[in-house]
Structure 1
Amino acid sequence: MSEMDWIAIGTIADIPLRGARCVNTPQGKIGVFRTAEDQVFAIEDHCPHKGGPLSQGIVHGAAVTCPLHNWVFSLETGKALGADEGAVRTIPLKVEDGRLFIALELRASKAA
């Protein structure tokens, strides 16, 4: 199991209800989503179909619809829903005192 590095990315108030924000990380763009029920999730910010920015999609329930071709992804599992196929990587996320943290894998340093 690889070690994780928890990175502060802002507060829950930075993300509107049923909205999202994109966070640039060394491991790529991460979409951080907030549902109408005040749950927060983090997934890769690109649709596997045509690379659409999921953080610009429509959040409904615990899912997001890609803004390019209407593919729908579960924010909980990252899997495509309905007839669509594929998945996006989910990113561990935690909330502490209203602050959001995502977990990124630490890269193992190479021996010299």
Structure 2
Amino acid sequence: MTKIFATKKSKLIPRVGRLITVDGKNIAIFQTTSGSIHALADYCPLTEAPILEGIVSGDFLYEPMREYKISLVTGEIQEPDEGQVTVYPVELSGEDIYLEV
């Protein structure tokens, strides 16, 4: 895996996704209200659509079109649905956010 600079923490809005593109891959970065930062592939295997517009609540992302939720921590789509979204490890260095891709 390669560590890359993604964005500044100050550019994130809690509960609102921010999109970055790395080597042609779209990655959605989310900050929860508790301040934790998570990065997931901006692609849902159930809908084959982006997840960026999902609604963040706690450590979950709710997909409004099909009403399912994804763990921001593990990327696991919660029961009764199933599936897995790719999660990228996040590292903070001051205000800088780095991802391992």
Interval of TM-score (by shorter of Structure 1 and Structure 2)? over 0.9
Corresponding residue to 1:42 among 39, 42, 46: 39
Corresponding residue to 1:60 among 42, 57, 60: 57
Distance 2:10 2:4 in 1: 17
Distance 1:86 1:61 in 2: 20
Please list the CA deviations of residues 84-105 of structure 1 after superposition, one character each: whole Å capped at 9, or x if unmatched: 110111111111101111111x
Tell me the equivalent position of 1:71: 68
Structure 1: runs of 5+ lacking an equivalent: 105-112
Structure 1 SS opposite 2:78: coil
Corresponding residue to 1:7 among 4, 9, 22: 4
Distance 1:56 1:13 in 2: 20
TM-score normalised by length of structure 1:
0.84
Shift of 1:37: 0.2
Distance 2:65 2:22 in 1: 23
Question: Are the counterparts in 2 of residues 64 and 73 from structure 1 also a CA contact under 8 Å?
Answer: yes
CA RMSD of aligned residues (A): 1.2
Question: Are the counterparts in 2 of residues 20 and 34 from structure 1 also a CA contact under 8 Å?
Answer: yes
Distance 2:49 2:60 in 1: 15
Following TM superposition, the consecutive aligned residue runs of length 4 or more in structure 1 with deviations greater than 3 angstroms are none
What percent of counterpart residues are identical? 26
TM-score normalised by length of structure 2:
0.92
